[in-house]
């Protein structure tokens, strides 16, 4: 088992009962998302405290991580497809900008602009 990343995410929420807010409290929480790789598969688990490598290993060995391999494979494929679409769109945009620049240059050369 190899730890790929430990990602902390801090969120705040407000709790209270009165409409004027006099008893409201702001609660800050940090959730740690751990991604591990083992035997060609990816696993995910969240913790409410910063886990040590030893804790991660014990929790992983007891089967408490979720296998997210199929989800990440699909996301990686979708990301690759979107990257190709983005490159294609950027090429078309560059071509349109070049054509526009040539048209403006031609109008300037003819004295229209």
pLDDT tens-digit readout, 55-112: 999 999 999 999 988 887 788 888 888 898 999 899 999 999 999 999 999 999 999 8
E-strand stretches of 1-113: 2-15, 25-38, 41-47, 66-67
Please report, for the chain, the start and end positions of each structural domain, with discontinuous segments joined by +: 1-67, 69-113
pLDDT at 2: 92
* Bridge partners, residue 39, by sequence: none
From the centroid of its chain, how far is CA 92? 27
């Amino acid at each position: 088992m190899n730890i790929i990343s430990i990602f902390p995410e801090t969120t705040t929420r407000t709790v209270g009962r009165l409409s004027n807010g006099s008893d409201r409290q702001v609660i800050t929480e940090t959730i740690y998302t751990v991604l591990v790789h083992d035997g060609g598969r990816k696993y995910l688990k969240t913790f409410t405290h910063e886990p040590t490598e030893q804790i991660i290993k014990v929790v992983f060995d007891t089967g408490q991580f979720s296998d997210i391999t199929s989800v990440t494979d699909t996301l990686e494929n979708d990301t690759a497809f979107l990257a190709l679409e983005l490159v294609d769109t950027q090429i078309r945009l560059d071509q349109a900008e070049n054509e526009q620049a040539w048209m403006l240059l031609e109008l300037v050369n003819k004295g229209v602009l």
